[in-house]
Amino acid sequence: MTTGLTSAEAAARLAADGPNDLPRPGTRGLPRIIIDVLKEPMLALLLGGGFVYLLLGERTDALVLVGFAGLSILITVVQEQRTERALAALRDLASPRALVIRDGQRQRIAGRDVVVGDVLVLGEGDRVPADGWLLQGDGLLVDESLLTGESLPVGKQAADSAPPAGPPGGDGLPQLYAGTLVVRGAGLAQISATGATTHMGQIGLMLATVDTEVPRLTLQTRRLVLWFAGFGLAASLAAVLLYGLLRGGWLQAVLAGIALGMAMLPEEFPVVLTVFMAMGAMRLSRQRVLVRRATAIESLGAATVLCADKTGTLTQNRMAVQSLWLPDAGLVEPMAHTDLAALGRLASPPHATDPMDIAFHTLTADLGAPPVAGDVLHLYPLAPGHPVMAQVWSSAQVAAKGAPEAIARLCRLDAAALARLEAAAEAMAAQGLRVLALAECASPDGPLPDALADLPLQFRALVGIADPLRADVPAAVRACQAAGVRVVMITGDYPETARAIAAQAGIAPLETLTGAELDTLDDAALSRRLAGVGVCARIQPRQKLRIVEALKAGGAVVTMTGDGVNDAPALKAAHIGIAMGGRGTDVAREASAIVLLNDDFGAIVTAMRLGRRIHDNLQKAMGFIMAVHIPIAGLALLPLLFGLPLLLGPVHIALLEMIIDPVSALAFEAEDAEADAMTRPPRAPDAPLFAPAQLAAALLEGAVILALVASFALMLWQAGVPEAAVRSAAFSALVAGLLVLMLVNRRLGSGMATLVGGAGRVLALVLAAVLGLLAATQFVPPLTTLLRFTPVSPALALAIVGGAVLAVLLLQILKRVMAAR
Q: Residue 491's closest CA among 511, 469, 458, 513?
A: 513
pLDDT at position 24 is 55
Specify which of 192-206, 544-558, 748-762 reaches the highest per-range mean pLDDT: 544-558
Strands (DSSP E) contained in 2-159 are 98-102, 105-109, 119-122, 131-143, 154-155
pLDDT at position 62 is 66
Pairing mode of beta strands 458-466, 397-402? unpaired
Strands (DSSP E) contained in 674-717 are none
Average pLDDT over residues 151-171: 82
Does residue 69 have a pLDDT over 70?
A: no
pLDDT at position 805 is 93
pLDDT at position 164 is 87
The answer to whether the beta carbons of residues 305 and 488 sit under 8 Å apart is yes
pLDDT at position 570 is 84
Does residue 507 have a pLDDT over 90?
A: yes
d(CA 211, CA 204): 13
Q: Which residue would you say has higher pLDDT here, 583 or 320?
A: 320
d(CA 680, CA 695): 22
The answer to whether the beta carbons of residues 30 and 78 sit under 8 Å apart is no
Does residue 82 have a pLDDT over 70?
A: no
Q: Residue 662's closest CA among 742, 754, 736?
A: 742
pLDDT in tens, 453-480: 999 999 999 999 988 898 889 999 999 9
pLDDT at position 758 is 57
pLDDT at position 525 is 94
Average pLDDT over residues 681-708: 84
d(CA 175, CA 177): 7
In the structure, what pLDDT confidence band is assigned to residue 337 with cuts at 50, 70 and 90?
very high
| DSSP label at residue 690 | S
Does residue 61 have a pLDDT over 60?
A: no
Average pLDDT over residues 363-389: 87
pLDDT in tens, 606-635: 889 888 888 888 888 888 888 888 888 788
d(CA 496, CA 502): 10
Does residue 347 have a pLDDT over 50?
A: yes
**Which residues lie across from 141 on neighbouring strands?**
155, 184
Specify which of 134-148, 308-322, 554-568, 731-745 reaches the highest per-range mean pLDDT: 731-745
Pairing mode of beta strands 512-514, 105-109? unpaired
In the structure, what pLDDT confidence band is assigned to residue 230 with cuts at 50, 70 and 90?
confident
Does residue 259 have a pLDDT over 60?
A: no
pLDDT at position 266 is 58
pLDDT at position 766 is 83
Does residue 28 have a pLDDT over 70?
A: no
pLDDT at position 604 is 87
Label residues 47-86 b or e (16+ Cβ within 10 Å = b).
Answer: bbbbebbeebebeebbebbbebbeebbebbeeebebbeeb
Say how many Å lie between the first and final Cα of the chain, rounded: 86
d(CA 702, CA 811): 10
Does residue 56 have a pLDDT over 70?
A: no
State the chain's mean pLDDT as an integer: 82
Does residue 252 have a pLDDT over 90?
A: no
pLDDT at position 94 is 41
Q: Which residue would you say has higher pLDDT here, 316 or 231?
A: 316
pLDDT in tens, 170-182: 778 999 998 888 8
Using DSSP, state whether 368 is helix, strand or coil: coil
pLDDT at position 41 is 47
Does residue 720 have a pLDDT over 80?
A: yes
pLDDT at position 212 is 61
pLDDT at position 93 is 46
- Tally of CB atoms within 10 A around 210: 20
pLDDT at position 90 is 42
pLDDT in tens, 412-450: 999 999 999 999 999 998 888 889 999 999 999 889 999
- Tally of CB atoms within 10 A around 26: 6
CA angle at 209 for the pair 44 and 37, rounded to the nearest 5°:
10
- Which H or E run includes 357? helix 355-366
pLDDT in tens, 737-786: 999 998 888 877 655 555 655 556 788 888 888 899 899 989 888 888 87
d(CA 591, CA 577): 7
